Amino acid sequence: MNAGPDITEFLARAANGDNAAMDALISKVYASLHQLAHRQRAREVAHTVETTALVHEAYLALAKQSGLAFADREHFYAYMSRVMRHILVDRARRKKAQKRQPVDMAAEDAGPGIVDLLALDEALDKLAALNQRLAQIAELRLFVGLSNQEIGGITGVTARTVERDWLKARTFLSGCLLPTG
């Protein structure tokens, strides 16, 4: 996610409606967004969209929004990660609604550590209902890949608090995602 500190200038100009700044911003961070999308797709059992298409859909969703302002690059990446997550969740829901065969978690293309995106989304929603900060920390860690220090900067807590909260969030999410009985 290191596109450099100068992207904050492009973020500020884009928030003020400068379309050229938005285009310049996207060209500066495209590789990082591609990595973010790849990380998002790695958690998806049934790949419903290609990485490049996910980046483009997220950009289109961003371009449709008006008046968005980002404090810094971490906030921008957290926002884009959330947009990508929602795109993938919406696609998974549509696919599930089409009554297709359930995805086999033991399938050859499903690597270790891959969880059902819908189940993870549902678990994060449950966690948010109990503790919004824990859910935000989990999302920033799982989907954006930020460090404890970076997450602390966004949430306004120390890196040590982030570490403790991540442990709580991970325990809660694990409990939600483990198969029952």
Instruction: Please give the radius of gyration of the chain, using alpha carbons only, rounded to the nearest integer.
Output: 17
The answer to whether residues 92 and 123 belong to one domain is no
Mean pLDDT of 168-177: 90
Q: Which two tokens stand for residue 48?
A: 């419903």
The domain spanning residue 137 has which CATH number?
Answer: 1.10.10
The answer to whether residues 68 and 17 belong to one domain is yes
Instruction: Evaluate if residue 66 carries a pLDDT over 80.
Output: no
Number of structural domains, the chain?
A: 2
Instruction: Kindly state whether residue 106 falls inside one of the protein's structural domains.
Output: no
The tens digit of pLDDT for each residue in 95-145 reads: 766 654 444 433 434 443 445 778 888 899 999 999 999 999 998 888 888
Its pTM stands at: 0.64
Identify the pLDDT of residue 181.
55
Among residues 162, 112, 170, 163, the alpha carbon closest in space to that of 142 is found at 170
Q: Which two tokens stand for residue 123?
A: 């678990």
CB 22 within 8 A of CB 63: yes
CB 1 within 8 A of CB 73: yes
Q: Write out the residue range of the structural domain in which residue 161 sits.
A: 115-181
